[in-house]
Amino acid sequence: MRDILHLRAPGNWINDPNGFIYYQGKYHLFYQYFPYAPMWGTMHWGHAVSQDLVHWEHLGVALFPTKEYDRNGVFSGSALEKDGRMYLYYSAVRYLETDPEDIHRAVGDRYETSQAMVVSEDGFRFDNWGCKRQIIPVIRDESMAHAAHTRDPKVWQEDGWYYMALGSTAEEKAGRVLFYRSRDAENWEYAAQCRHRKFGRIVECPDLFRLGQTDVFLASMMYIGEAGKGYEHLPVCGIGAFDRRTCELTLSGEFQYVDYGMDLYAPQTNLDRDGRRVMIAWMRMPRAVEEEGRVWNGIMCLPRVVEVQDSHVFFRVHPEAEGYFSREVRHDGQLPEGPCRIHGILEEGRELDIGGYLIRMEQGCVKTDRSRVFGETKGVAAVCSTPEVPGQCRLDIYVEPNLIEVFINEGRYVISNVVYGLGKGLTGKVEHVWQGGR
């Protein structure tokens, strides 16, 4: 099975991207996968590959529960290459008591989490029985971490050391990030932790990398959104300084949202073939889609290059995805068939209508309204907004039947929204429209 531009669930359910890596000439993207229903359940790792971050081929299940410590789920993690082999790191979940009426749920949401790894010789074959290894047991010292909510190992290598960041919490009241390090990528020692007043109650999917002389921190924070006004768990990013000797992270300035559409979650980054820092994330969907004989729930955003300019983190469409839209078409008041890219300039008080999805500028902020193409969905916001946009507002809008991504001023801000039932009309100030051509 193949997907173009956006990796979708091959059927049933996907969520977080995992193990995103450019390895031996191909991009590998693993993802949280429940293969039995279009809903969250016991986690596996699905696997897809691409030559260009645009055309994706699904390869089926890579990792699945086989051990006592991961019997209730192979949860999120990352990948690196060492000595020509692919190392996968993941969070392993074991329920303390399983719901007798639904084995995919824990009674009282009580479970424990450890960290584990698998080594693959070629990035395509994964021995789920013989090659798994638990590398960080369940942490039961509450002063250090939380036995259940310590997860999502992000592993990277720098200057002869391997580093690991883990999301965690202090008593489910204050989020924190743990740092480990290793000389061989297999045996790990605790190094330090970071707390911050804006970490929410639990940190998930931490990511840390250097761009030039700047360290950028990304993570998904739980319970930072307004209850009842949309998702409570949201990804943020900020800049700071990470001391590689002590593993102490100091964050400066304010956080910004990774995406102002609020559907995006669990971003993960790695380097592309040309050394650019590229991000992919999961787009949360409140209900499944029935399409061509399959039911699916979950889609990944377009790959985005992460850059820092004037202490602000930009998320720009990756050149491979941008280049896919190579054929310009006439704007005749109708959306073209299939994926399209729309370019325009938005002025104060003006509005762009894309098949019922509205983009307008109010008091210097870009606002989107998907009310007419979303349906009645409780707990998920229909109207989204950026902060005030400095200067002229240039839009690059990528449109698919279930996802619209609005890039403002070359990625200064992004609004990505899941939609259902787009119409065909296109009105407003549109300068160019492109369709896919490769």
List, by residue number, the catalytic residues.
16
Render the burial of 111-125: b for 16+ CB within 10 Å, e for the rest. bbbbbbbbbbeebee
Q: Which of 273, 298, 272 is nearest to 287 (CA)?
A: 298
Q: Which of 223, 219, 275, 222 is nearest to 251 (CA)?
A: 219
Q: Which of 20, 17, 23, 8 is nearest to 273 (CA)?
A: 23
What's the CA gap between 213 and 407, in Å, rounded? 26
The one-letter amino acid code at 423 reads G
What contacts 417, CB < 8 A, 6 or more positions away? 261, 263, 357, 368, 370, 374, 384, 403, 404, 406
Tokens of 102: 């639904």
Q: What is the 3-state secondary structure (H, E, C) of 124-164?
A: CCCCCCCCCEEEECCCCCCCCCCCCCCEEEEEEEECCEEEE
Distance of CA 329 to the CA centre of its chain: 31
Question: Are 75 and 69 a contacting pair, CB within 8 Å?
Answer: no
What's the CA gap between 354 and 427, in Å, rounded? 7
Render the burial of 157-168: b for 16+ CB within 10 Å, e for the rest. eeeeebbbbbbb
Q: Indicate the SS3 state at residue 224.
A: coil
* Strand stretches in 183-263, DSSP E: 189-195, 202-211, 214-222, 234-243, 248-257
DSSP secondary structure, 327-352, as one string: EEE--SSBPPSS-EEEEEEE-TT-EE
Question: Are 232 and 225 a contacting pair, CB within 8 Å?
Answer: yes
Q: What is the 3-state secondary structure (H, E, C) of 11-80?
A: CEEEEEEEEEEEECCEEEEEEEEECCCCCCCCEEEEEEEECCCCEEEEEEEEECCCCCCCCCEEEEEEEE
What's the CA gap between 106 and 128, in Å, rounded? 23
